[in-house]
Structure 1
Amino acid sequence: MPNLGSSLLAAALVAGAAIPFQAGANAMLGRLLGHPLWATMVSLAVSVALAVPVMLAFRVPVPSFATAAATGPWWIWTGGAAGVVYVTAALLLAPKMGAASFVVAVIGGQMVASLVIDHFGLMGFVQRPASLARVAGLGLIVIGLVVTQWANGAKAG
């Protein structure tokens, strides 16, 4: 029987596998709707339309938004803005870069931000120093980005 760590890793891999499909679908939606921001709005509206019935089915209690706003840090509301940035960037950039190069670049950006967040214990995360191994892992991702971009250039030429 797999342990919880491998189950979580598998779930994260499946979630990650959805990213290039999301970028492709949203890019096509943006072309069909005539503007990338329409695709961003529709994509996020579909997310809400899917989340609400699931929340109702699981009887998720309605939270106190006022309490969260009054007691939480200011940045708790920035996740939605980050979602808009990501979805819009994906539908604009993925078709130009290719799915693999876009995803490698996204992972590189996520790793840089994650190392900074962990190192300083930002956004409620436990502080975890940026070890040599973690920085080396980031270096490998950067090498992967360079190789995928080089492969795109070699193929296009």
Structure 2
Amino acid sequence: MQSAYLILALAAGMFMPVQAGINAKLAGVVDGAIPAAFVSFFVGTVALGLVLAAMGQGLPLSRAVPGTPWWYWVGGSLGAFFVTATVILAPRIGAASMIALTLAGQLAASMALDHFGLLGFPHIPFDGKRLLGSLLLAAGVYLIRFPG
């Protein structure tokens, strides 16, 4: 089962630049990055609604609202920011640079979340190996962003 999770993570990562490219093309049709991100989220919301219906589950909003901390609702806004940013970035800096830079940001935030055990992540201390990995990733971002 562990290998299935690794394959799922790889596939999700492979779809990110594809989604950014599609949404960047869509932005040209719907007059901008924010309208394109809206369409992307709308289509995604409909797709998830169909999956919930196929699974025999109702909309989760009625179960989630009472007593839910306000910051639980921020995830959608962060996703909207990410999608909008990729729509803006993809045609300007290219897929490889966009993904390299967003990956570097994701890794930095992920290591901080792990180190401090925030948001329910297991506590995984920042150490020399993680520092080396970060430096190698930063070097990779530089080489990808400024080839030649």
Q: TM-score range by the shorter chain?
A: over 0.9
Aligned to 1:40: 37
**CA distance in structure 1 between the aligned counterparts of 2:8 and 2:18, rounded to whole angstroms:** 16
| Residue pair 2:49, 2:59 contacting (<8 A) in 1 also | no
Q: Pick from 128, 135, 139 the counterpart of residue 132 of structure 1.
A: 128
Q: How does 1:5-154 map to 2 (within 5 A)?
A: 5-63=2-60, 64-67=63-66, 70=67, 72-151=68-147, 154=148
TM-score, with structure 2 as normaliser: 0.93
Q: Given residue 81 of structure 1, which amino acid in structure 2 is its aligned partner?
A: S
**CA distance in structure 2 between the aligned counterparts of 1:56 and 1:82, rounded to whole angstroms:** 26
Distance 1:12 1:33, change over 3 A: same
Deviations 1:48-91 (A, max 9, x none): 11111111111124431223xx1x43321111011111000000
Moved over 6 A (4+): none
| Residue pair 2:17, 2:95 contacting (<8 A) in 1 also | yes
Question: Shift in Å at residue 109 of structure 1?
Answer: 0.3
**CA distance in structure 1 between the aligned counterparts of 2:128 and 2:78, rounded to whole angstroms:** 28
Tell me the C-alpha RMSD between the 2 structures: 1.3
Structure 1 residue ranges without an equivalent (≥5): none
Question: Shift in Å at residue 135 of structure 1?
Answer: 2.1
SS of corresponding position for 2:124: coil
Aligned positions, number:
146
